[in-house]
Structure formats: structure tokens, C-alpha cells
Structure 1
Amino acid sequence: MFTNTIKKIVRAGLLVSLGLSFCYSAYAQQEIKIGVIYPLSGAAASSGSEMKNALELAADIVNNGAKTVPNLPFSAGGGLPNLKGAKIKLVFADHQGNPQIGATETERLITQEKVVAIVGAYFSNVTATSSQVAEKYKIPYVNPESSSSTLTQRGFKWFFRTTAHDDLFVHNFFDFFKELEAKKGIKVKQLATFNENTLWGNETTKLETKLAAEKGYNLVKTIVYPAKSTQLTSEVQQLKSANPQVVMQSSYLGDAIMSMKTYKELGFSPEMILANNAGFTDTEFRRTLGKDADYVITREVWSPDLAKNNPLIKQVNDLYNSKYKADFTGNSSRTFTGLMTLVDAINRAASTEPEAIRKALVETNIPANKLIMPWKGIKFDEHGQNVLGSGILVQIIDGKYNTVWPFDLATKDVVWPMPKWDQRK
């Protein structure tokens, strides 16, 4: 009898154990782990923080809903409907702006955290190494912001980029110059390039040099400076001596701020600084420089003043602002869109199997009215490049970004030339 009692206790304990195991398993299935890798420390930590906020907002909308944006996908909340309400769990990694750390952290996310997909990584050179690891492990990789053209020229099967790329953005610069002359009577001929020397900046320099020659512009100076420089005095002196009308510049946040301070210090005042996004669109750029940030024109992919054409822009930006006391930027709005695109694919796949997610990404076709971006939609070509993305140009006036090109979308007339430093109020 004693033996039978022991057997019953053991059997009961086993059932309880199995029950707990089953409950844990069922709970575990309610979370879909997505790895996200961004610069959360180092010189671009401010940019990384804004993009982290955007990711958390997107996940919160999917998991818990957002009644104020009923037309946004997943705004009803409750998780992914095709996966029985499974919730998104973001697993963050910090690449610190270092390509090698990006690669090792991506491997950790895949092999130890067991994420089903990766979103990242802002820096093009980090995205290059990070996505290579994902390709090796056959894990879907969605890249919302990196614009280096070669990222989608590597023959990868698991890499998908939602943003447009630098080939298109640099063409936009020269389209702008042409229309500036035709519609505003402003003629630009003397150009200079001032770009950092990682993958993004080097590729941009090649594109700008090529197009300047093809389109008949005089490139009076080409400067490629070391990324994360501690001073830019000699480089700016070279620019000043070359006397360009327009400086086309590609810099991350720290370099963008430093260059503007050096321009003022040395009295360098070209007709225009035409920036290639990145540091020039970070909230910290305007916060640090104040009025000295005014009049810069930068290429962009998003601006709050475009809400007149798309109510979703204001509705989602208001959510972001209420939570983080700041507006979306071109970076964070793209990051938000990248995660929402991945979630859409996982839901359509009705699976967390990597191949099923990859196949759903290939079949993605999100219409413009479901996006907060001023794009025609999201649809990937055979290289994983969204073919429906586009760019705009914005100018900082009174501390705010205003769309100035394309001219039919402009909310303010372009101010040209930039006032000289000693003529500013």
C-alpha cells in the first residue's frame, strides 16, 4: 500500500510537472522574438535611441493596439491574428557603430536568443557584416535605413531593404539642381563633396563624382575625411579655398555637428549645404546647434508637414510624440516602417519558420495608404530592394524641417542662398 501511495504521488507530481511544462510551452509560443541591432552607445547613440523608441512603439501598437490610428495595420492590437494572438518581443543588441561587433552580436541574437528575424542596423558598413551573418544562418534580415547601394547587389536571398538607396538619393540632388534653375532661376555649377570614409560615405562620393561629370557640373573639391574625426579644421579650410557654391555632405551625427561648428568658426559660407540625411536629420543636430542648424537642406524620406497628404503621418507621429516628447525623424520613421513590414510578413506567413517568413517578404505588397512614409508602397524586387520608395528634400527653417522639394509637395519655398554667418540674426 505504501508503495502504491508513493507511485500515486510520483504520478501526480509528474502530471503537475507536465502541466507546468505545457503551460510554459504554450506561453512561450505567445512571444515571437525579433532581434534588433542598432548603435545604442558611442557617437551615434542619440540616433540609436530614437530608432529604439520607434521599434518599441511599433511593437506596442501590434501587441496592445492604438485606437487613434484605425487605418494602420495591427492597430487593433492583440498580437498577430494569424498566429493566435502571438505577441512581438524585441531583443536589442548594441553594435556601437563597429562592423565586427555588429557581426558577433547578430550571431548571438540568432544562436543564443533564437530570434526568428533581424532588423537593423542603420550604419551601412555594420549592416553589411551583420546581414552577412544572417545570410549564413538563413535568417530573414530587414534593413529599414541603410542606403549604401551595394547592400542589395550581393546576391543575398535573406536580405530585404525597405528604404530607397543612395543611387536614387544622389540622382535626386541633381534633379533638384536642374529644377532649381528651370523653376527658380537659381543656377548651380560649382560643387564640392564632403563625406565620411565608411562604406556609405565612400559609395556616395563615387556616385556624386560620376553624376557631376555626366551632368556637366564642376566638382571643385572632393574630400573624404576619417569617420569620427576629433577635428575637421584642415578639411574645412580646403573647402573654403575651393569656394564651391554647394557642398554635398554625408556625415553621421557627431561629424555633422562638428562640421557646422567649424564652418561658423572659419567663416565658411557656401550658397548651400546639401546633406545626405543621417546626422543632419537627428533631433540632437538641431538641439545642439540651435539657430546655427538653420537653412541646411538635407535629403529625407519623411517630414511631419507631409501629413496634409497622409493623415497616418500625423496620427502615428502624435503617438510617438506623446510617449517620447519628440517627433519622428527620417531615421526613426523608417525604422518603425521596417519593423511593421516584417511583422506583416510574419503574420501573412502564419509561421515563425525562417523560410516561410522569407517567402512572405518576397510576396510583400503594402499600399501607400497603409504607410507613414510618402512612398508608393513597399514591394521588393529580386534583390530584396523596395522599388516603391522615394526621397524628398527638407530645409531647416526656424528649427523645423520643411519640405522644399519636389516642388509640388513643398510646404515652404526654398531659402537660397544660406545667409552668411555674420548676417544671421
Structure 2
Amino acid sequence: MLAAAALLTTTALTGIGFGASPAHAEDEIRIGVIYPLTGAAASTGVELKAAAELAAAIVNKEIPAPPGLVAGIGLPHLNGAKIKLIFGDHQGNPQVGATEAERLITSEKVVALTGAYFSNVTATASQVAERYGVPFLNGESSSASLTQRKFKWFFRTTPHDDLFVGNFFTFLGDMEKKTGDKLRSVALFNENTLWGNETTKLQVKLAEEQKFTIAEKILYPAKTTQMTSEVQRIKAAAPAVIMQSSYLGDAILSMKTYKELGFSPKMLLANDAGFNDSEFLKTMGKDGEFVISREVWALDQAERNPLIKQVNDLMHQRTGVNFNGNSARAFTGIAVLADALDRAGSTKPDAIREALQKTDIPASGLIMPWKGVKFDANGQNELGQGIIVQVQGGQYVTVWPFDVATKPVVYPMPAWDGR
């Protein structure tokens, strides 16, 4: 995947610049997109890039759009202009992300930015956008603090970790009622960047409020190469549930270490990210079964929203892989930004920002199982929702909320020697 990521460089094309007047026919509207295209998370970045490019192709009417999809309207109020995605590679490094944001704004003359998947990179890149007065639409980063900074130019479509972590504890309570089993003993196992640290604080707070016991709490170094001592500590604490926040490499390493040490809790609750990356199941195969994760998207929800399957089919035709929660959010971010550009009828920053503030997209126009997209005063989408999925038979299936579940939860997670 690193080789593939290396091919993802873009050539700067002449287009309208930052602060330009309304677009003329056939103009290119340049949008900066910052993802990890090389480094440990390159495979994730490749999928995010492909999803963004699919959204752009639909907006530009290069491929037919399923009826009702918000991106399918194109840019009629910009006289047939096309969006051009200009990519930046942050390599998983917050400082590189900030540098790429500045390059895209000052050299590539983009009218808006999107990205950056890693919450700590989104934090630095959006600070640059804020300084320059350029709209930044974030589709994938979930650290709650990102929309608590009182920024003027930052908007986020995905729900954040306050909601996701709250869903974890609600789900555990519902499982206790359903099974009659006690799931009050929890281990926290999170990477130590902005995302993992903030998640841990939320988990500690809610565990205390809802009378769960934290049997062990470990913040491990991001991009670690071994987890033996950490997993031994968790195994000794014997929690009923692990709540884990890991990017791809760490998620795979932890599962391999769990198996090596023969550790299998009743439930592993993953905080999306690496556990839902397409490479996770490609690498783990059957050893990735029964992981439970929070999510914002699942293919099996197409029974309730036909757009999910229709757009996923387009993604699969182009890339050979299905959407996952990460890439579906990247697609949605570009679609929402394009909707705002069209309503703005201009590439001026103030006009785009005003259009984003007035966004009101119904659920019927999205591929996400949300109530829609509408931003509050802090730029946070008020209408996003979370679901919980479990790996069953090599697929991520919805298991909670129970009223939208397509499969029952497999519980407890089978021991390694009983699979």
C-alpha cells in the first residue's frame, strides 16, 4: 500500500485562487485534502483519498449519481464549475499536517480544506486554516475538543467521542439487561495522542458516573512495536470488557498479542479507526472475528437507506473495496462541502462559511444513518448518530441499537481455543 500511496501525488493546475470571485463556466474550484498518504496509516489514507475522489466525480457529473444523493446536484449555481481535489500528505505527523495546510492555502490557492483523519493532525491543520480565514470541513476526526475551540472557520460532520463513548456505556447497560450478566469491570487501552487521551478522560468520567469499575487503564505509545507487557497487565486485571482506541497498526498488533497470550475478554469494544479499516480484516482474517466497534456507517443499513448500497457499489467498482466508517465519512465530507459551495454561489471564504453555517441536509440525501447535517454554533453537526457493529463471518454487521440491528450480538467473545 505504500507504493500505491506514493502514486497519489498531484500536479498543481491553474485555477481560481483563494478569495476569488464567483466561478465562471469550466473553472476549477480547488479544495485541499490532507490525509496520511505515506507512513504507517498509508492504507487508510489511500481509502480516504479514493472516497473523496468518488464524491468529487459525482459532484462533477463524471459518473451518474443515484437519485436523491446530495452530491448529485453538482454545482449549478457556479455555472458548471468543477471541483479539483489537491492532496496533501501529513504522514501521521501534526507538524507536517500544519505545513501541508499552509502550502495548500498559500501555494495551491485552495478555497477550502478538508481532512485529516488523525485528530491531532486535524487540530494543527485547522489552526492554520483559522489563521488564514479559510473554511475547514472535517469529516472523520472524533476528538470532542475540536469543536470546543470557538473557531470561526471549522466545521465537522461526524459525531464526536462524547457521543461515541456515551454509546458504549449505554450499550453495556442494554447488554446487561439482555443477558443478565454483569459487565461492570472495564479495562481502558488507548493510544496516547490527542484522540486516545481525550477518549480516556471521557471513559473515566462516564465510568465513574455510571458506576463501572476501571480494572486497568493503559495509554500506550502511538505506533508502538510491542504490547506484551501491556496485555499482560490487562490479562492480570481480568476485566469483562476492553475499551480500545487504536489506529490500524496498533489494532493488528494488539489482536496478535491477545492471541499469543491467550487472552480473551467477554467483549472487546473498539473505538472504530484501525479496527474498522479494510486492512484489519484482510490481515487478521478469522482472528478479527467478534470484535465489537462503534461506527457511523454499515453496509447492512442499506435495507433502510438504498443510497448506501448504490453509492457503495460505485466505490467497489472503482476500488475493489467497500466503504467503511472512515471512507464513508470522507465521502460525506466532500459532498457536504460541495453542497455549501453550490449554495454560496461563490468561492469567497466568507460566502462559503455562511453557506456552511446554513447547511440543512436531510437524512434522505446522505449515505450515513444520521438524521441529517446541520451545524451548531461551534461548527458541530447536530444530527449525527452512532451505531455499534460486530465482525461476524468476515462482515461488519449492525448489532446496536437493537431496533436497527441486523444480527444479534455474539456474546461472550469465544476464547481463542474455542473458535
TM-score range, shorter chain: over 0.9
Residue 229 of structure 2: aligned partner: 234
CA displacement at 1:398 relative to structure 2: 1.1
CA distance in 1, matches of 2:352, 2:65: 29
- SS of residue in 2 equivalent to 1:351: coil
Residue 59 of structure 2: aligned partner: 62
- Which residue, out of 306, 310, 319, partners 2:305? 310
Query: What amino acid is aligned across from residue 306 of structure 1 in structure 2?
Result: Q
RMSD between aligned residues = 1.3
Kindly tell me: are residues 235 and 58 of structure 1, through their superposed partners in 2, closer, same or farther at Cα, counting changes over 3 Å? same
CA distance in 1, matches of 2:274, 2:296: 14
- SS of residue in 2 equivalent to 1:280: helix
- Show the 5 A alignment for 1:167-206: 167-206=162-201
Residue 283 of structure 1: aligned partner: 278
Query: What amino acid is aligned across from residue 187 of structure 2 in structure 1?
Result: A
CA distance in 2, matches of 1:402, 1:131: 34
Residues 371-414 of structure 1: per-residue CA shift (max 9 Å, x gap):
00000000000000001001000000111000000000100000
* Higher CA-based Rg: 1
Residues 71-122 of structure 1: per-residue CA shift (max 9 Å, x gap):
212426xx51101000010000000000000000000000000000000100
1:394 counterpart = 2:394: no
Residue 133 of structure 1: aligned partner: 128
CA displacement at 1:184 relative to structure 2: 3.4
Query: What amino acid is aligned across from residue 29 of structure 2 in structure 1?
Result: I
1:48 counterpart = 2:49: no
**Contact 1:66 1:75 (C-alpha < 8 Å) held by counterparts:** no
Residues 121-178 of structure 1: per-residue CA shift (max 9 Å, x gap):
0000000000000000000000001000000011100000000000110000000011
Aligned length: 398
Kindly tell me: are residues 26 and 302 of structure 1, through their superposed partners in 2, closer, same or farther at Cα, counting changes over 3 Å? closer
**Contact 1:65 1:74 (C-alpha < 8 Å) held by counterparts:** no
- Which residue, out of 110, 114, 123, partners 1:119? 114
- Show the 5 A alignment for 1:228-267: 228-267=223-262
- Which residue, out of 298, 306, 325, partners 1:330? 325
TM-score by length of 2: 0.93
Kindly tell me: are residues 418 and 82 of structure 1, through their superposed partners in 2, closer, same or farther at Cα, counting changes over 3 Å? same
**Contact 1:192 1:222 (C-alpha < 8 Å) held by counterparts:** yes
**Contact 2:23 2:78 (C-alpha < 8 Å) held by counterparts:** no
CA displacement at 1:215 relative to structure 2: 0.5
Where in structure 2 are there 5+ consecutive unaligned residues?
A: 1-21
**Contact 1:119 1:338 (C-alpha < 8 Å) held by counterparts:** yes
Residue 32 of structure 1: aligned partner: 29
- SS of residue in 1 equivalent to 2:70: coil
CA distance in 1, matches of 2:245, 2:54: 28
Residue 82 of structure 1: aligned partner: 77
Residues 357-381 of structure 1: per-residue CA shift (max 9 Å, x gap):
0000000000000000000000000
Kindly tell me: are residues 204 and 146 of structure 1, through their superposed partners in 2, closer, same or farther at Cα, counting changes over 3 Å? same
CA distance in 2, matches of 1:308, 1:392: 15
CA displacement at 1:185 relative to structure 2: 2.6
1:298 counterpart = 2:270: no
CA distance in 2, matches of 1:183, 1:420: 21
Residues 329-355 of structure 1: per-residue CA shift (max 9 Å, x gap):
000000000110000000000000011
- Show the 5 A alignment for 1:72-111: 72-75=69-72, 79-111=74-106
Where in structure 1 are there 5+ consecutive unaligned residues?
A: 1-24
TM-score by length of 1: 0.92
- SS of residue in 1 equivalent to 2:127: helix
CA displacement at 1:186 relative to structure 2: 3.2
Paired-residue identity, %: 66
**Contact 2:341 2:347 (C-alpha < 8 Å) held by counterparts:** yes
- SS of residue in 1 equivalent to 2:72: coil
CA distance in 2, matches of 1:74, 1:304: 19
- SS of residue in 2 equivalent to 1:64: coil
- SS of residue in 2 equivalent to 1:75: helix
Query: What amino acid is aligned across from residue 69 of structure 2 in structure 1?
Result: L
CA distance in 1, matches of 2:46, 2:59: 20
CA displacement at 1:65 relative to structure 2: 4.6
CA displacement at 1:64 relative to structure 2: 2.2
Structure with the bigger percentage of helix = 1
**Contact 1:65 1:75 (C-alpha < 8 Å) held by counterparts:** no
Query: What amino acid is aligned across from residue 274 of structure 1 in structure 2?
Result: L
Kindly tell me: are residues 45 and 254 of structure 1, through their superposed partners in 2, closer, same or farther at Cα, counting changes over 3 Å? same
- SS of residue in 1 equivalent to 2:342: helix
Residue 17 of structure 1: aligned partner: none
Query: What amino acid is aligned across from residue 366 of structure 2 in structure 1?
Result: L
CA distance in 2, matches of 1:28, 1:91: 20
Residue 21 of structure 1: aligned partner: none
CA distance in 2, matches of 1:147, 1:394: 17
